[in-house]
């Protein structure tokens, strides 16, 4: 059964990722038809859609009674986004990732928000009150970004009329398949973790977290290759903020849970450090160059080793 559960987990994870890719594709087409600024579109629409894999996995995990799997998926995918994804995208770009000065104006608030999962979960549990606080903080930041949207003037070039109705239909269909595949991904991931005696949170931190990062990775690489760096930055940063506040909050509201606090200490600290590194690199010459990209990738590798050390060498449950 171990092989069967692993195979089915990988199959449905692949379906999940493909559906998220289609959801991003058709949501961006709808956004183009509305002629909105690139950064705002990516931070709001594309980031929210690309967050659907970890969102659905985390919510389904909470409903299934294993919310720690959702915690690992959300925070683990955030670390991967801020380090591995940014690093790979910068390496694929011929000139690195260029950053507009307006994008940097909200970085202080962004970094503060990334600290809240660590602050609220420091005692080894997330209550419904903690969840409400996270949802409120995340929502307020999205409102702030929206109110500042006049700063971002570059808009999609709408030289071609987008098939609005067709895009909307395919978007709804993609999300429906995504929800079903997320439910099955969680089911077989939990079965596999149980059979090999691997902590569910570690499955979320590594295999699922990496898999759910693929939609924004693929989208961002395509964006920078077409000189739409603001799309890539908005997608990744919006995705991370959504996961760290609103989605984690929803999971806690659905099913308050406890966990080994050492996992959170390492993961949430790595998430904040990843955000801090990205901020520092973006402020330096307003870009993330290839040397900084390699540093971010090495940071992610160090994070994975730290997680395996905690869960296996120290034998934490």
Tell the residue number behind the tokens 């979320």, with chain if given. 204
HEC-encoded secondary structure of 242-287:
HHHHHHHHHHHHHCCEECCHHHHHHHHHHHHHHHHHHHHHHHCCCE
Residues of the chain with pLDDT under 50: 158-159, 317
Domain spans of the chain, in order of start = 2-152+161-313
* Ramachandran sector of residue 176 (left: φ over 0; alpha: ψ -120 to 50; beta: rest): alpha
Rounded to whole angstroms, the Cα distance separating 176 from 6 reads 23
Instruction: For the chain, count helices (H), then strands (E).
Output: 15, 4
pLDDT in tens, 295-317: 999 999 999 888 877 766 665 54
What was the pLDDT predicted at 317? 47
Q: Which residues pair with 37 in a beta bridge?
A: 155
Tell the residue number behind the tokens 């506040």, with chain if given. 245
Domain covering 2-152+161-313 assigned CATH 1.20.1420.30 in the classification: yes
What was the pLDDT predicted at 40? 67
Please provide residue 97's backbone torsions phi and psi, each rounded to the nearest 5 degrees: -95, 115
Q: Pull the structure tokens for residue 100.
A: 């507009």
Residues 6+ apart with CB under 8 A from 72: 200, 201, 202, 203, 204, 205, 208, 209, 263, 267
Residue 307 near residue 267, CB atoms below 8 Å:
yes
What was the pLDDT predicted at 159? 46
Residue 155 near residue 36, CB atoms below 8 Å:
yes
- CB-facing half-sphere around the CA of 88: CA atoms within 13 A: 18
Nearest of 88, 12, 51 to residue 209 by alpha carbon: 51
Q: Pull the structure tokens for residue 269.
A: 């600290």
What was the pLDDT predicted at 269? 93
What was the pLDDT predicted at 191? 81
Rounded to whole angstroms, the Cα distance separating 20 from 171 reads 9
3-class DSSP state of 294 = helix
pTM for the complete prediction?
A: 0.77
């Amino acid at each position: 059964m171990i092989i069967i559960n692993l195979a089915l987990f990988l199959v449905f994870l692949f379906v999940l990722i493909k559906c998220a890719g289609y959801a991003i594709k058709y949501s961006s087409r709808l956004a183009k038809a509305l002629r909105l600024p690139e950064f705002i579109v990516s931070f709001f629409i594309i980031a929210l859609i690309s967050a659907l894999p970890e969102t659905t996995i985390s919510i389904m995990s909470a409903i299934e009674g294993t919310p720690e799997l959702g915690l690992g998926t959300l925070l683990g995918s955030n670390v991967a986004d801020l380090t591995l994804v940014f690093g790979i995208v910068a390496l694929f770009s011929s000139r690195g990732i260029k950053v507009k000065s307006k994008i940097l104006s909200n970085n202080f608030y962004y970094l503060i928000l990334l600290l809240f999962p660590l602050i609220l979960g420091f005692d080894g549990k997330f209550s419904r009150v903690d969840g409400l606080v996270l949802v409120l903080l995340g929502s307020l930041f999205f409102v702030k970004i929206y109110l500042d949207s006049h700063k971002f003037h570059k808009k999609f070039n709408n030289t071609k009329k987008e098939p609005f109705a067709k895009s909307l239909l395919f978007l709804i269909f993609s999300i429906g398949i995504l929800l079903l595949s997320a439910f099955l991904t969680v089911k077989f991931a939990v079965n596999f973790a149980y059979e090999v005696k691997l902590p569910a949170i570690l499955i979320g931190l590594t295999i699922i977290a990496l898999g759910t990062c693929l939609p924004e990775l693929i989208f961002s690489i395509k964006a920078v290759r077409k000189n739409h760096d603001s799309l890539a930055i908005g997608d990744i940063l919006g995705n991370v903020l959504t996961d760290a506040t609103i989605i984690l909050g929803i999971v806690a509201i659905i099913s308050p849970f406890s966990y080994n606090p050492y996992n959170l200490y390492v993961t949430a600290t790595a998430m904040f450090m990843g955000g801090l590194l990205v901020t520092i690199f973006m402020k330096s010459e307003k870009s993330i160059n290839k040397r900084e990209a390699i540093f971010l990738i090495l940071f992610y590798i160090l994070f994975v080793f730290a997680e395996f050390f905690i869960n296996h060498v120290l034998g934490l449950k």
